[in-house]
Amino acid sequence: FKGWQFQHYPVGMPDSSTVTLVEEQLGDLSTGQVLIKNLWLSVDPYMRGRMINTKSYVPPFQPGELLQGGAIGKVIESNNPQFPVGAEVMHMQGWRELAISDGSDLTAVGGHGLPLQNYLSVMGLTGLTAWAGLNKVGQLRADDVVFVSGAAGAVGSIVCQLAKLAGAKVIGSAGSDSKVAWLSQQLGVDAAFNYKHSDDLTATLKSLAPEGISLFFDNVGGAHLQAAMANMQDFGRIVSCGMIDQYNAEAPVAGPTNMADFIRRRIRMQGFIASDFMADYQQFAADVGGYLMAGKLVNQETVVEGIESTYDGFLGLFSGANTGKMLVKL
């Protein structure tokens, strides 16, 4: 079977020498093991962090080993009665066509009438990130003025919609005019702008939110963070979800130069990791699954096809090739 092997830790943007598509052999199944044919793979910005050889909340990829990531597959051989042939499962052995498991790392999915790949997007960690970040960390209120950076991406597009459903005013930024139009017309945000066409993000935000931002959900960092801080209301909250602006930086990136705003406006800023909120999964699934079933939530996916396309799909996250969740269909 084919899988993507990690070669070396890149400096700057990963390139064609960072990973290689290789052929691997499978051994026989032992007692308790199952063979899974992967159907859907997730590619995510956090995987760039696993290409840095440093201690973090997930271990770095190891040169010479296959990469890992979220995947959904079907059991095609089974020595484990808990996961019989035909069972649909979610696990972390992505970036490859086949996987062997003893069942301990598998979660059964499906059965709710939702497309399987939804468990890698809106009903999976992406949706949980949006929901927990907004509600548990950001403590979203109906009278909030919410600014979402990376608004047309996987997490951002769910954040925008959940904030709108709660009654908040929502402003989103994205990197193309078509994404901006999609945010306004399909997701119903109150205002959206193309950050690549704004030479003064602080002024752009001031014109769209003259009353100030009370809650900033940040997927990007950098200039977005600086501009949002300059436009926060007193006692505003910043939910620091991601900093994709600097994931491929070749050297450490300077922080905002307006930290005095932080004090002056009494801003509270908190980072978070979605997996810390797994205990809230049922509440999340009831909330977001309910909206989805009721047709109140748009779940947008950008799908690339074939194991060969996986790496291009991943790199596409850094050039904005996706609207909504980037997925690989095998």
Round to whole Å and give the CA distance between 212 and 210: 5
148 interacts with ligand NDP by CB under 6 A? no
Task: Among 170, 189, 205, 317, indicate the residue that binds ligand NDP (CB under 6 A).
Answer: 317
> Site mask, ligand NDP, residues 236-255, x = CB under 6 A?
-----xx-xx----------
Among positions 91-120, residues that touch ligand NDP (CB under 6 A) are none
Task: Using the minimum distance from each CB to ligand NDP, give the nearer residue, 118 or 129.
Answer: 129
The first and second tokens of residue 46, run together, are 């956090």
- Separation of alpha carbons 67 and 94, rounded Å: 7
Task: State whether residue 116 is helix, strand or coil.
Answer: helix
The answer to whether the beta carbons of residues 124 and 118 sit under 8 Å apart is yes
Q: Round to whole Å and give the CA distance between 295 and 292.
A: 5
- Contact of 234 with 265, CB cutoff 8 Å: yes
Least CB distance to ligand NDP at residue 225 (A): 11
Query: Which is it for strands 2-6 and 34-42: parallel, antiparallel or unpaired?
Result: unpaired
Task: Give the one residue of 129, 135, 204, 214 binding ligand NDP; rule: CB under 6 A.
Answer: 129
* Interaction between residue 301 and ligand NDP (CB under 6 A): no
Closer to ligand NDP by CB, 6 or 247: give it. 247
> In this chain, which stretch among 41-49, 89-97, 203-211, 228-236 interacts with ligand NDP, using CB under 6 A?
41-49
In the bound state with ligand NDP, the residue whose beta carbon lies nearer, of 93 and 129, is 129
Closest residue by Cα to residue 288 from 161, 192, 173, 193 = 161
Candidates 41, 148, 154, 160; binder of ligand NDP (CB under 6 A) is 154
Stretch that binds ligand NDP, among 107-115, 228-236, 267-275, 291-299 (CB under 6 A): 267-275
Interface with ligand NDP, residue 121, by CB under 6 A: no
Using CA atoms, how far apart are residues 38 and 293, in angstroms rounded to an integer?
A: 26
Nearer to ligand NDP among residue 176 and residue 233 (C-beta): 176
**Given the complex with ligand NDP, which of 35 and 220 has the nearer CB atom?**
220
Q: Quick check: 51 binds ligand NDP (CB under 6 A)?
A: no
- Smaller CB separation from ligand NDP, 182 or 291: 182
Neighbours of 295 (CB within 10 A): 7
Q: What is the Cα–Cα distance from 114 to 294, expressed in whole angstroms? A: 12
Contact 212, 236 (CB under 8 A): yes
Strand intervals (E) in 128-179: 145-148, 169-174
Positions in the binding site for ligand NDP (CB under 6 A)? 44-46, 126, 129, 150, 152-156, 174-176, 179, 219-220, 241-242, 244-245, 272-274, 317-318, 320, 322, 326
